[in-house]
Amino acid sequence: MSTSTAIRPTGTSPATAPARLDMYVGIHKALRHFMMDTLHRVGRMDPADATDLARTLGQFEDLMALCVNHIHHENDFVHAAIEARQPRGSSRTADDHVEHFEHIDALRAEARALARSEPAERPVQALRLYRHLALFVADNFQHMNVEETANNATLWAHYGDAELMDLHHRILASLPPAETLEVMRWMIPASSPAERAQILGGMKAGAPAAAFQAVLDAVRPHLDDSAWGQLARAIGVAQQPGLADFR
Ligand SMILES: [Fe+2]
């Protein structure tokens, strides 16, 4: 299956340069989407509403857990590949990852203190969490751009696209099904129509039917009717449950 792979031209290459495989584009669109949505929800949360508080902090914890997993995947697969052919080539973003783990621990502590706090303290603690999460998101946006430019340039200098595709498939194969579903829930709505069709078309061809259907079910509530119709036509699935398949 192909979830986060896309062929992209480099930003600095001439228009005639061959496009290269970009492992970062899909997963980073997913993370940007998840981060922005969660930041927005923390900012608009009513700290006096226990249900809203629990739901919002639940999404916050899900985001932190995915960020931790993502850092491990990049360290274990992508940085390891860079280091194998260019020693110290991943040091800048590897150092960032150490800081991100520390930042995540601090944010989690703040969120748990908020959940345990007295009602009168919650507005101040919620605003503090919102601002510190915003700084984490800002830092990650800078970091992801370094990976998409400098790290991609290093990968492209030392690896062919077939090797990078193999590396990407090994990352995808290492993901538990629940993580794949969560990533797709954020990635597909954040992707362009062509990217959606490429990702889900690849998954339809390569994944078990039940796994593919589970991804469609996770994604469908987060696309409007126009986007869903365009995607359904592109990958040859029924536009709505219960309607006949058409191509
Ligand atoms: Fe990273």
Question: DSSP labels for 167-213?
Answer: HHHHHHHHS-HHHHHHHHHHHHHHS-HHHHHHHHHHHHHHS-HHHHH
Q: What is the mean pLDDT of residues 105-116?
A: 98
In the reported structure, the alpha carbon of residue 210 is separated from the centroid of ligand 1 by a whole-number distance in angstroms of 31
Nearest Cα residue to 220 out of 189, 176, 179:
189
Q: What is the mean pLDDT of residues 70-93?
A: 97
Residue 206 scores a pLDDT above 80: yes
In the reported structure, the alpha carbon of residue 170 is separated from the centroid of ligand 1 by a whole-number distance in angstroms of 17
In the reported structure, the alpha carbon of residue 119 is separated from the centroid of ligand 1 by a whole-number distance in angstroms of 36
In the reported structure, the alpha carbon of residue 79 is separated from the centroid of ligand 1 by a whole-number distance in angstroms of 9
In the reported structure, the alpha carbon of residue 145 is separated from the centroid of ligand 1 by a whole-number distance in angstroms of 9
pLDDT digits (tens, 9 = 90+) for 118-150: 999 999 999 999 999 999 999 999 999 999 999
In the reported structure, the alpha carbon of residue 4 is separated from the centroid of ligand 1 by a whole-number distance in angstroms of 15
Give the pLDDT score at 226: 95
In the reported structure, the alpha carbon of residue 93 is separated from the centroid of ligand 1 by a whole-number distance in angstroms of 6
% the chain with pLDDT above 90: 87
In the reported structure, the alpha carbon of residue 209 is separated from the centroid of ligand 1 by a whole-number distance in angstroms of 32
pLDDT digits (tens, 9 = 90+) for 165-202: 999 999 999 999 999 999 999 999 999 999 999 999 99
In the reported structure, the alpha carbon of residue 95 is separated from the centroid of ligand 1 by a whole-number distance in angstroms of 10
In the reported structure, the alpha carbon of residue 30 is separated from the centroid of ligand 1 by a whole-number distance in angstroms of 13
In the reported structure, the alpha carbon of residue 146 is separated from the centroid of ligand 1 by a whole-number distance in angstroms of 9
Provide the residue ranges of all domains of the chain, joining segments of one domain with +: 17-176
Q: What is the mean pLDDT of residues 98-110?
A: 98
Give the pLDDT score at 52: 98
In the reported structure, the alpha carbon of residue 33 is separated from the centroid of ligand 1 by a whole-number distance in angstroms of 15
- The tokens for 134 are 């915003």
**Averaged pLDDT score across all residues of the chain:** 92
Residue 100 scores a pLDDT above 80: yes
Give the pLDDT score at 239: 75
Residue 107 scores a pLDDT above 70: yes
CATH topology of domain 17-176: Four Helix Bundle (Hemerythrin (Met), subunit A) (1.20.120)
Give the pLDDT score at 5: 52
Q: What is the mean pLDDT of residues 50-59?
A: 98
In the reported structure, the alpha carbon of residue 104 is separated from the centroid of ligand 1 by a whole-number distance in angstroms of 13
**Cα dist from 172 to 29, 31, 211, 214, whole Å:** 16, 16, 14, 16
In the reported structure, the alpha carbon of residue 2 is separated from the centroid of ligand 1 by a whole-number distance in angstroms of 20
3-state helix, strand, coil in the chain (%, to 5): 75, 0, 20
pLDDT digits (tens, 9 = 90+) for 3-37: 445 555 544 544 556 689 999 999 999 999 999 99
DSSP 55-66: HHHHHHHHHHHH
In the reported structure, the alpha carbon of residue 64 is separated from the centroid of ligand 1 by a whole-number distance in angstroms of 14
In the reported structure, the alpha carbon of residue 144 is separated from the centroid of ligand 1 by a whole-number distance in angstroms of 6
Residue 241 scores a pLDDT above 60: no
In the reported structure, the alpha carbon of residue 57 is separated from the centroid of ligand 1 by a whole-number distance in angstroms of 23
